A and B are shown apart, each in its own frame.
Chain A
């Protein structure tokens, strides 16, 4: 288990991570989502032992991670811009990792390279961005570590490869309890693979939940109200996160159980109402808006 306790990291005057606490259980896919500059990469670099936190501590399986080879041998970090030897090929990279990761599986490496259609003898510098990402994932999987930290790894993969990698993750989770931690700003990528999600925003963690729980406790209501008074009752009676309208059609994001919201609306009897589930992206936008992050201003 990865336990992150009140970690902070500053780069000069910039607070990259501020008092973040999180728990990541084994055997699940943990998604780390956040806006640009939220601190996702810094978080992963600290968890992988690359960076030392200015404050707080990161404990993995009961031991601190920084400069601890025993723990680091259970972690493989794929950075957002992975380094490969300038003139080296995939085998050279494999040899490097094999020399330091005791459980590195050479046979599996060769087999996966073949399955993914990557040539082991070709210079990595001639690989496309997506091919390099694939190679990184293969190396990470074959390193045989318990934790696989992926920073924007799905960015650059085509949909087919994305599904293949996801399938690979699922297989590894099933077979040996791999715990992938995937950082991304692309919520759709994480939605169908992550079980748990941590939402980083401006260096702090906004929420850390089971995705299913998140989806169960936040809902979108589209409705047309009969009177202004009815709208006021909705505002008073529901735990509203955001409210928006286009003409007489209101879109309201509310917290709470689905049944409670449904009963409330049934009782109120508006002209029209419909209860819709939120996508992870909508949850993310809602949560960040609540914290004062103007997503729309950024997007439009």
Chain B
């Protein structure tokens, strides 16, 4: 008997024993594609001649949406056929039979692999084409009916109709994605089966190979975000995902669902194809080398066991640490967070390591089988976490000696006034490398010394800060990137005052202007959208002129009149450029006025505002007798009320008296406005002078990179009867806080 004949007869024989899977596959694929199509969109009547809408539903299902039901079937199918085809690897009896047969291991593998694939693939392809033909026929009919109506001909440009080839390609591309999804998971499961001797070990190994690396990187990134303040960069999940097949598959599904650009989608398709091929090759080689006696055993290979155990344990330690920190902090016990985090990491690490030993050894007594390795892994994991939390490795305070530095470049932080949504997601470092940064070495080094020096946080409320990026190239040739939050200081001011920095951080670049889509001006009472490219260009030019003519400090003075957001979109990027319009931006304000946006840049004045209401936000639970209102208000608003002017000069009774006599602003309990009906306690400010004072205070520019000195919920009651809620501030002037206290004393006899 020739090898070829033997192979085909074995294929036939193997398929005969999996006939139940063939039936399930046919049933599942039929239900998930043609049947579901007919049940949902394929059999619906078209009401009111809305052919475009109905056709859109048909094409939507047949080109994209069938991915979900058919994908579920594909994933269930690949698990079932993989397990069914290769389950003999987990049974000594079956291994004895199959391995003793006169057929090469290679052929046995291919017979099982190919049969498993065909069991799913053939019914899938048949049903895909059945669904495609049904859907396309209906789609074409609707298209014809649509154009038969004269009235629609005028609106032809408003409806996007797919051509025949487009419809076909989209359907087949989704089908291809499903085939790849099947192959990736199928090969992953087979690989895990060949490496192990029983199902639970297969599960553990498949999970680790499937998402182990991305899980580790994700947790590592959380630790970085939590603890490394100067870390700069984005985790290239797209690149790392290729090391975690299931994560890469998830990317494919997301890209498919969100209609990613074709080039990008094709790249992800190819990546998944590569992953599927690599998994196949790994499964094939592992199968050929697999010792038969592994059947029924756990995971014997130390080259697989220990890396998995260490990787998963370190992940568990980080997860335990992060989870425990979050839980403890959510209960407000921040001072004990470190102890709980260590405990969380320790328990999670030891537990996971021990459980993996039980699984790999298939022995409940094996929890402490590798005590030394367990101890070392958990200790190393905890040391890493502690090191991150305490900057033990000196990452955030690192600054090389100036003599060792060849060059420094300073950039604005990506988020100073931009938000970039990059489809191709280049790293921030790559973006910086494209730009020319500030090169003044002395100025940068002085700033960095300030940035890495210990900060007196008590001063932070009073000073704004700037986030900057730096690229440092050492004389050794090594270079690194960092980002720093620098508190207000002469060193920072020196940077902010340079035109170069303003250009880098705030200027609207030419490439953005070329791809402007729109701009939206918003303030508390209104918003408007500008789409005229000439106007957009004029405003951006005016804004850039302001940046040239004034320092940042000068631009930040005056009342914040509103906020403007420019949107630019090119083939590979979606950029928003957002900033607040202040009175100091004379050119910008003037241009907006000239272009008909006068109302959007006219500040509130007492001529317009009748009253102001200040609330206590979430501190107004004054009814709780256990709460010490002094402490609560002091800690929340950052003031010293007990030793403040009012308590010292007038005492509690004096305050009560002043409150009753109206010397202190009154408190109201409910505020019903047109837009913002709310319960709570509010200080009502009616005196024109006091109202103006509040309005002046609101004029401080607030930018999410620059902490504003005070905050509360602030309602404006206008003279024309309208009310507006202004954005939050963080501190109330003392006399208003005292009003709340006085009301509290009076009302509850405290």
Which residues of A are at the interface with B, using a C-beta cutoff of 8 A? 11-12, 45, 48-52, 67, 69-73, 75-77, 79, 81-83, 85, 88, 92, 95-97, 99-102
Contacts and interface: CB of A to CB of B under 8 A. Distances in A.
B292 interface: yes
A72 to B, nearest CB: 4
A100 B93 contact: no
Given A50-B99, A75-B100, A100-B10, 20 more contacts: A45-B292, A49-B99, A50-B292, A51-B291, A51-B293, A52-B291, A69-B102, A69-B107, A72-B101, A73-B102, A75-B102, A77-B96, A79-B96, A81-B93, A82-B96, A83-B96, A83-B97, A100-B9, A100-B101, A102-B6
A99 B8 CA distance: 9
A92 B17 CA distance: 9
A76 B97 CA distance: 10
B96 A50 contact: yes
B97 A100 contact: no
A226 to B, nearest CB: 59
Contacts of B94: 83
Nearest to B1: A102
Contact of B100 (A52, A77, A92): A77
B103 interface: yes
Which of A69, A88, A95, A101 has the largest count of B CB atoms less than 10 A from its CB?
Answer: A69
Contacts of B6: 69, 99-100, 102
Contacts, number: 74
A52 B292 contact: yes
B81 to A, nearest CB: 17
Please list the 8 inter-chain residue pairs (A to B) with the smallest Cβ-Cβ separation, ordered nearest first: A73-B102, A102-B1, A72-B102, A99-B9, A83-B93, A77-B100, A79-B96, A50-B99
Interface of B: 1, 3, 6, 9-10, 12-13, 16-17, 91, 93-97, 99-105, 107, 291-293, 300
B103 A69 contact: yes
Contacts of A70: 102
Of the listed residues A67, A72, A77, A99, the one surrounded by the most CB atoms of chain B closer than 10 A to its CB is A99
Contacts of A11: 293
B104 A69 contact: yes
A48 B102 CA distance: 10
Nearest to B104: A69
Contacts of B105: 67
Contact of A67 (B16, B104, B291, B300): B104
A83 B88 CA distance: 10
A82 to B, nearest CB: 7
A88 to B, nearest CB: 7
Contacts of A95: 13, 16
A52 B105 CA distance: 12
B220 to A, nearest CB: 35
A75 B91 CA distance: 21
B103 A100 contact: yes
A77 B100 CA distance: 7
Given A11-B293, A100-B10, A69 B100 contact: no
A85 B87 CA distance: 13
Given A67-B105, A69-B6, A81-B93, A48 B13 contact: no
12 contacts: A11-B293, A50-B100, A51-B293, A67-B105, A69-B107, A73-B1, A73-B102, A82-B97, A96-B13, A99-B6, A99-B12, A100-B102
Nearest to A76: B100
Given A69-B3, A95-B13, A49 B93 contact: no
A75 B96 CA distance: 13
A67 B107 CA distance: 10
B197 to A, nearest CB: 12
B371 to A, nearest CB: 19
A79 B97 CA distance: 8
Nearest to A103: B1
Contacts of B1: 73, 100, 102
With a 10 A CB-CB cut-off, give which of B9, B10, B101, B291 has the most chain A CB atoms: B101
B102 A79 contact: no
B17 A88 contact: yes
Contacts of A75: 100, 102
Nearest to B17: A85
Contacts of A97: 101
Given A75-B100, A100-B6, A100-B101, A50 B95 contact: yes
Contacts of A51: 291-293
A52 B293 CA distance: 9
A91 to B, nearest CB: 11
A99 B101 CA distance: 10
Contacts of A83: 91, 93-94, 96-97
Contacts of B291: 51-52
B100 A49 contact: yes
B141 to A, nearest CB: 48
Contacts of B104: 67, 69
A70 B293 CA distance: 23
Contact of B13 (A45, A81, A99): A99
A71 B17 CA distance: 26
A96 B95 CA distance: 15
Nearest to A95: B13
A83 B93 CA distance: 5
Nearest to A70: B102
Contact of A101 (B93, B95, B99, B102): B102
Contacts of B12: 99
A269 B323 CA distance: 93
A136 B300 CA distance: 32
Contacts of B97: 79, 82-83
B438 to A, nearest CB: 65
Contacts of B292: 45, 50-52
Contacts of B293: 11, 51
Nearest to B3: A69
Nearest to A104: B1
Contacts of B9: 99-100
Nearest to A85: B17
A264 to B, nearest CB: 50
Nearest to A69: B102
Nearest to B6: A100
Contacts of A12: 300
Contacts of B3: 69
Nearest to A145: B102
Contacts of B300: 12
Nearest to A151: B96
A145 B93 CA distance: 21
A196 to B, nearest CB: 23
A48 B96 CA distance: 9
A77 B96 CA distance: 8
A56 to B, nearest CB: 16
A296 B271 CA distance: 67
B288 to A, nearest CB: 8
Contacts of A96: 13
A298 to B, nearest CB: 26
Nearest to A51: B292
B93 A72 contact: no
Q: Which of A75, A82, A83 has the most CB of B within 10 A?
A: A83
A94 to B, nearest CB: 11
A45 B17 contact: no
B707 to A, nearest CB: 63
Q: Which of B3, B9, B100, B291 has the most C-beta atoms of chain A within 10 angstroms of its own C-beta?
A: B100
A12 B291 CA distance: 12
A101 to B, nearest CB: 7
B10 A79 contact: no
Given A69-B6, A88-B17, A48 B103 contact: no
A102 B99 CA distance: 17
Contacts of B95: 50
The residue among B10, B13, B97, B105 with the most chain A CB atoms within 10 A of its own CB is: B97
Contacts of A71: 102
A100 B94 CA distance: 16
Nearest to B96: A79
Contacts of A101: 102
A230 to B, nearest CB: 55
